[in-house]
Amino acid sequence: MRLVFDNLQEFERWIANNVSADKYEAYISKDMEVILVPTKSTKPLKYAYIKLSSTEELKIVEKLRVGMGLNVYNIKHLVWADDRLVEGKLE
């Protein structure tokens, strides 16, 4: 299941209710796209995505990294095709 968020507050709310360091890791692209990827293959797989519009909104990344202890990876680009797994190419 792919959840696409347009609103940062909704994204943060979903994170607070569903995300922990043992279940998710975060990928951040150069285009300020953030995707949360499950680390375990327990079904249903839920991916969460948001495209940030300002560097101010990138503070969410620090919340993920420091506040929640998630592994955060910078990636060159993101593959988000419906017929494939979500994947990113590391920098």
Query: Is residue 91 domain-resident?
Result: no
Query: Is residue 76 domain-resident?
Result: yes
The CATH number that applies at residue 64 is: 3.30.720.210
Query: Is residue 6 domain-resident?
Result: yes
State the total domains in the chain: 1
| pLDDT score for 9 | 92
3-state secondary structure 60-87: HHHHHHHHCCCCEEEEEEEECCCCCCCE
**Torsion sign over Cα 82, 53, 40, 72:** positive
| pLDDT score for 66 | 85
Query: Is residue 90 domain-resident?
Result: no
Flag whether the pTM goes above 0.85. no
Secondary structure letter of residue 53 according to DSSP: S
Q: How far apart are CA 70 and CA 25, in angstroms?
A: 5
Domain span at residue 50 reads 2-84
Per-residue pLDDT tens digits of the chain, which is 91 residues long: 889 999 999 999 999 999 999 999 999 888 888 999 898 877 788 889 999 988 888 888 888 888 888 998 888 777 665 555 555 555 5
Query: Is residue 12 domain-resident?
Result: yes
| pLDDT score for 58 | 84
| pLDDT score for 75 | 86
